[in-house]
Amino acid sequence: MKRTLSISLLSALLALSSVAWAQDVKSDVDTAAKDTGHATKKAATKTAAATKDASVKTADTSETAAKRTGHATKEGAVKTGDTTEHAAKKTGSAIKKGVKKTGAGTKKGVTKTADAVK
CA distances from 40 to 35, 45, 50 (A): 9, 9, 15
The reply to whether the predicted model has a pTM over 0.85 is: no
- The CA-based dihedral angle spanning residues 26, 29, 30, 36, taken in that order and rounded to the nearest 10 degrees: 180
Beta strands of 2-111 (E only): which ranges?
Answer: none
Residue 27 pLDDT level (bands cut at 50, 70, 90): confident
Q: How is residue 42 annotated by DSSP?
A: H
Q: Residue 118 corresponds to which amino acid?
A: K
Mean pLDDT of the 1-17 span: 73
What was the pLDDT predicted at 88?
75
Q: What is the pLDDT of residues 40-96, one digit of tens each?
A: 889 998 998 888 888 888 888 888 888 888 788 878 777 777 787 777 777 777 777
More confident residue, 84 or 13: 84
From the list 99, 102, 101, the residue with the least C-alpha distance to 91 is 99
Q: Given CA atoms 48, 52, 55, 57 in this order, what sign does their dihedral have?
A: negative
